[in-house]
Amino acid sequence: MDFVATCLFGLEKFVGEDIDRLGYKRIETIDGRVTFTAPDEKAGDCVADCNVFFRYAERVLIKLGDFTALTFEDLYQGTKALPWENFIGRNDAFPVKGHSIKSKLFSIPDCQKIIKKAVIDRLSNVYKMKQFPENGIKYQIEFFILNNKAALMIDTTGETLHKRGYRKEENLAPLRETLAAAMVTLSRPRENVILVDPMCGSGTIAIEAALLVTNTAPGLNRSFAAEQFPFVHKASWQNAREKARTAVTPPYTEIFGYDIDPKCVEISKNNASRAGMDFIHFAVRDIKNFEPPYPDVRGTIVTNPPYGERMGDQMSARELAKLMGEKFLEKIPRWQKYIISADEEFEKYYGKRADKVRKLYNGMIKCGFYQYFKT
């Protein structure tokens, strides 16, 4: 059976590595999605494993098939030819949503109507029914049309995977959990090298770091749409969660989160507690007064400062970047620093060229991930 894992642009490499770790085979990678396959007899286990263990993906989709769709007739016939009855029962719900990019069929509402009609006609022939109550299990159908090639899928995730379940409270400009996890991974957490987010907001970076250094599966404590699917047996979910629980280890380093706003620090503590990551050290601190938590300690900064896109203005964000550069050079010259910003002139105001810049997306906002390895 074939699957598609969707993700933020720039995270495809990390999603592919998660697929490899779970023992499934990658087929194709394009911007924002990785297609992979699993043996049919392990399809249920694959659905459970991927939803529980994926750290960087947004959704896990069952791919029913793909075909060229230059016209609505192509879309109708291609959709109708797929084996929807293998999943959707007589009473089940099957809403349709999707995207079309660089294709002749660009009207999303029209594509939805055509696909819905094709699925109904297919199921009508199979079940000998004209109307469907759609009051049973929900099978969310998703379509993706790129360069006139349509892929038809069923979502197994439900609420997106970046919603781990711990962030009930957040600040004005929250960082998506999947992106925070990738940022931490790129910083290469190491034993006895502490990790500090000096502007922690709702604590996302610190919490994702804690999940990583304890080898805690991000989906361990949440539910998924496919838990209602009959072909994914309860044993598959039980086994996936048991594997996740037994894989958890004690943290191999300390993690700190600071913020100038006491409310943010309180939110961070509450979120960390819900995630089971109570070992994180949170405190109220102004970046103006930044100091390492211990003298002569080795450390890494990973942070998402405001950059004038959604909170504050660009000038104050640039003043903050200048302050960060000065403080970090003064207080922690030998630490590595990893900073995400949408400001293309970040390095100018920070006062130093990054050793490496990686393009990442915070939602739809194009950002640079500025990585400083040297003094």
Nearest alpha-carbon partner for 350 in 364, 334, 366, 371: 371
* Residues β-bridged to residue 150: 67, 145
| Rounded average pLDDT over 123-148 | 96
- Report the DSSP pairing between strands 141-146 and 255-259: unpaired
Q: pLDDT tens, 240-287?
A: 999 999 999 999 999 999 999 999 999 999 999 999 999 999 999 999
Q: What does pTM read for this prediction? A: 0.94
* DSSP secondary structure code for residue 200 in this structure: -
Q: How far apart are the first and last CA of the chain?
A: 49
Q: Are 154 and 64 in contact (CB under 8 A)?
A: yes
Instruction: For residue 375, name the pLDDT band (cuts at 50, 70, 90).
Output: low
Instruction: For residue 313, name the pLDDT band (cuts at 50, 70, 90).
Output: confident
Q: pLDDT tens, 345-354?
A: 999 999 999 9
Q: Are 193 and 299 in contact (CB under 8 A)?
A: yes
| Rounded average pLDDT over 147-164 | 97
